Every structure is written in C-alpha cells, then in structure tokens.
A and B are shown apart, each in its own frame.
Chain A
Amino acid sequence: MKVSSRTAQKAAKILIWASALLVIVILLAIVIFILIKGVPEISWQFLTEIPRNMGRDGGISSTIVGTLLVTAVAVIIATPFGVGTAFYLTEYTREGKVTRIIRFSAESLSGIPSIVYGLFGFIFFVMYLKLGWSILSGGLTLAVMILPTIIRTSEEAIRTVSYQYREVSFSLGGTKWQTITRAVFPSAIRGIAVGVILGIGRCVAETAAVILTAGSALRMPGSIFSPTRTMAEHFYILAREGISMEKAYGTAALLIILIFIINVVANMLVNRFVAKGR
C-alpha cells in the first residue's frame, strides 16, 4: 500500500498535534480534578490545626511543618556539598579519568529509585546512626537524593560562566579562591539556585523515601529528632486507607499548589538567567 507523501504528511501532522493535545488534556484532567475537589477544603483551620482522629478531623498543620522541616534539612545539607563538588569538578580538576568517574557516579546516583534511597536511609540513618525515625533521618535521606541534581545543574551553571571572567580576575592579581568567590560564583549563582529550587520541589513531592525514614507521626514535631509526617505521606495514607477523601483532596491540592509555585519561581530565575545572554 503506497501512501502518497501528501497523505503521509497530513496524517503525520494530525497525529503529532493530537499527541500534544493529549498531553495537555491529561495534565488538565489531573490538575483540575484535584484542585476542584481539594481547594474548597483549604481553609484557615485546615492550615493551622493538627490532624485529629487519624486525620479524619482537624487540619494538616503538623504535616505542613513536617514537610518544611524535612525539606529544609535536605537543602541545607545538600547544597554546600553539591555546589562544592561542582566547583571542584570545574575549577580544580582537568577532564580525565577522575572527573569521568565522578560524573558517572553522580549520574548513576540520580537514577536510583527513591524506594532504594528509602531503604538506604532506613538502614543507615535510622538504624546504624541511631537517629531513629526523625526529621533528621528523612532530611538526610532526601539530601542524598537531591545531591546529584544539584551537582549537575551547578556544574552546568559554573561551566557557562565565561572563561574570560576567570582570565580577567587572574590577570588582576586574583588567587584561585578569590576568582571563584568574586567572579565565578556571582555569575553562576542564578543557575545554581535553579538546581536547588528543583531539588526543593523533589523533596516536597517525595513519599517513598520519607515513609521509611521520617516516620508517620501526626503530632507537631518538637525538634529535628522527632518523627513526622510530610504532606505527601499524609495524602498517601489518607487515600490508601480510605480515612478521609475530603482531607486527602485538600492535602493534594495544597501540595500541587505549593509545587506549582516552586516551579514558577525556578522558571522565572531561568528566564532571567537566559536573558542575560549567558
């Protein structure tokens, strides 16, 4: 059956536009559904009261706090290590066997399923280091999980800083440390920030790794050694156990809104990053 090139062209065009349409429709179906069902649930009480009755009543304040704290721990730990590693790779080494091994490790780390991170976090942080189910364990596990992303985006950002800035700084009598901190870092910081923000987004959305390491306590955490439940976890438990569909929708809606804001911020930074002509 010989199809004329005209027909093939038309058919291809229709199918390709259709695929894009399909993707948009799916996105809207999911997001709009959750928002419609969930936004009505979000009230001041919802945000400020802690869950009662296993989550059937009350709000989700403790989970909001839990999410924020676990994410904060993860970012505070992962960022210096990630950015530092990126600087080491770009400024202190030459392309060679060492950098290839390092880059391979970072790439491999980023492909590991989050459940495996959960296993690792459980056996290492919770059990071996005796940190127990806690914000700290959860945060450390997530830190390890977002480390590769931060390394990769930071490296990219640092690399695109013009070599000429470095040359200029050295030619004016700068040391390596001064050149990195005064010429390279300020230029790269926006790109680095994008990576960190994307890491934040991943932490907020993560469930599998957190369930195994941060616990699932509903009460307001007292310190980073307390167990907690993140919003994603809470949503999962509410939905799976059928405890309260309304609260589940509300939690999901809040989650999506939060992640949406995080993504928008990252995008704004990227656009200004690109607009500066780098």
Chain B
Amino acid sequence: MKIAKILLLIVALWSAWAGRAHAGAEFSHFTLANGLEVVVVSDHRAPVVTHMIWYKVGSADETPGKSGLAHFLEHLMFKGTEKNPGDAFSRHVAEIGGQENAFTASDYTGFYQRVPRSHLKEMMALEADRITGLVLTDDVVRPELNVVLEEQNMRIANNPAARLSEQMDAALYLNHPYSRPVIGWRPEIEQLNREDALAFYRRFYSPNNAIVVIAGDVTPDEVKADAEATYGKVANRADYTPRRRPMEPAQEAPRTVTLADFRVEQPILNRDYQVPSETSAKAGESEAIEVLAHVLGSGENSRLYRRLVIDQGIALNAGANYSGTALDYSKFAMFGSPKPGVSLQQLETAIDTVVGEVVTQGITADELERAKTRLIAEAVYAEDNQATLARWYGSALATGQTVESVRDWPNRIRAVTVESVQHAARTWLDPRRSVTGYLVKSLQSEEKRS
C-alpha cells in the first residue's frame, strides 16, 4: 500500500523531470527480438546503476487455492540455477559491493540489484540466466517455506492493523483476485511445494513476459548491446495473451469489517473505495482522483486533517490516499485515529460529512492549485533518486501503462479541473463501492478464551 503510494509520487516526479530541458537525462525504450522490453534512464551523478527485472505476474495471477505462490517463488528465485548454483548470484553481488532484493505485488514480481556501474553486464547475464534456469530441490524449498511463514507472522499475524487491512481487501473485492493477500492465506501457504513453484515459474517467467529497467550511470547504446548479448539469447517459453481476471460485478451494498484484538491500544477507522486504476480509468479520471486524495487527505492543510484534528479536535490523525498503479482496480483509502473518548462512529460521521461537502460543493480553485504544485514538485525530488525512478517505470509498464503516459504526467495533472475533481468524488466515493473497517480492542486474548 505504502509502496504504491510512493510510486505515484515518483510518477509525478519523473514527468516533471522529463519536461525539464536542463536535466539532460538520456532516455531509451526498446524491445528485443524475443519480446523483452527494456527501459534505460541515465543519471551520471554517481558511478552507480540500478538494474531491475519486472515479471508481469503477481498474486492476482495465481490459481485459486494456491495463494502466496507468486511470493513464494520470488523467494525461491534466490536458490540458484544450473549455471550459477546455490547462492552464487547473491555472493557475487555481495563481492562487488552491491545490494539486491526482490518484491511481489498483486500485478508484478520484481528483482533488482544496485551495483557499481562497471558490473552491470554481469548482473544482466546472471538475471538472464535466472529467467529460465532455476533449479529447485526439496532441501532448499522446505526451509524457505518456513521463512515465508515467519514473514507472514511478522508482517500480518503479529500486527492487528495489517490483519484488518487483509480482511478489508477480502471484502472490497467480491470477485476479483485482488481480494487475496499478496503473501497468501496461511493454510494455503503451508501447502505450497516445489512442484507448484516450478509449474508457476515455467508458466510465467519468460523474456516476453518481462521488463528490464536500468537507471544510472550508463548510456542507452551500451545497454542495448549488452542486453542483446545477454537477455537477447534467452528463448521464450510461452505466448502471453492479455491478462484477464474475474472482474467485479456492480457493488450494491456498503460493507463493514470489525477486527477485535486484545492488543489494540489505539482504535482505527479505515474506509476503502474500489476505484479505477491509472490503467483502467478513462482519460483524466485517475488524475482527478489523485488530486481529490491530495485535497482530502494529504498533509496538515488537507480537509480531513484540518477538520478532524485541528478544528473539531476529535482525531489524532486523519488522511486519505490513492494508489493508482494497478492493472484492474485501485483503492481510494481514508483513515482516522480517534482521540480517547471519541467513538469510531463519531469519527466516521465526521469523515462522511467532509466527503459529502466535496461531493456536493466540490473543491476550491486554491486547493486545486496547491495540490497540483505539490504533485508536480514531487517530480523534481524524485529526479534525485535513480532507484525510485526505475521502480516507477517498472511498475507502470508492468501494470499496462505506457512510457509516454508516464512522461506526460505533469501535463495530465495540469489538465485536472475543479469540475473533474468534483465529478470524481461524486462518481467514485459512493458508499456502495466501499468497505469500512474498524480496529477495536477485544477484552480477552486468544489464549484466555481457549
């Protein structure tokens, strides 16, 4: 959730950067003969390069009953290939002073290294080898499954707010697989095995289902030659048709979810609406939703914070955000923490009043301008971090956006009007599209009840 938000900011940043004459960044986008897409962004300030590969597969592409498989395979991708067995890849990254990591989301799975520039081609060769060369044995798969279960414990089971969020996603999507947690449902994770992972790997890991993004102290020409010599040699394993998941029916009833845990010391109210993503929205719609989220809930002068925290003094915090980087749908999320003595119902009523005013009266021209300034300024700040830029390009392309739409971001934001924001509020902040989540304290621990 947080990452998606960051990505949006990056979108903003990059585009502003792209529009600046002085930035002098070379940019290149090309496709190899085997279908692998490559994006190159130059930044010559430090002799460092960020190398990422993004596969167009995520948890929403899993077979029902195998939730967590995309993420489990991400972990197993570090177990070695025939050519580079065991942890040879990771050891090499460590030897050259590089950093590496990987991540899984609903729509994509990514792997990256940040290395001194002279080692880029080695990274490309190792990553190309890993597209189809993975070797798995039960000896490495079994301990890794335990690692993933501990990750689930750490991120979700030990964290009441994360458990509420998981339950809300399950309620927000009646039919679409975004209802599943990326890390999977624990009983299904426990059953995953080597054969599941290899079948998923053979089905989805192929050059024509991947995007490579390289940002840093390189030129497009040298990258292109190296990409052809490494990635260009990997044969495809399958043909890919457009990704079609079960879509949402008309949502007709507001839903509520209450998660009670004895450890909750600060109740929380969350409200999520199912709204279009940047990819699924009509022209101009996603940008208007982005401005709407900004005006409603970003910063101390946003409507929610000012009204609930400063003026009424009923909340400790309140805000909103929209994470538009997704293939099919996105969430428009609002949240608030009540002050002691204030009920979640009081807080919810106050939030609904603020939302109602935007729906009926819209936002002011001044609010619109301030939001635009900040969104576009983020572009200059993003320009300062090559890894951020690489991440933004990868996530955009992996969710069906184009390089052109990304680079045109400042203009798309500039085109937003007070009318389009009000229209977005009226259309999408419809209670029937929403789930409201309450995080509350229960009086007993599980232990005492059992």
**Do A and B assemble together?**
no
Interface residues of B (CB under 8 A from A): none
Interface residues of A (CB under 8 A from B): none
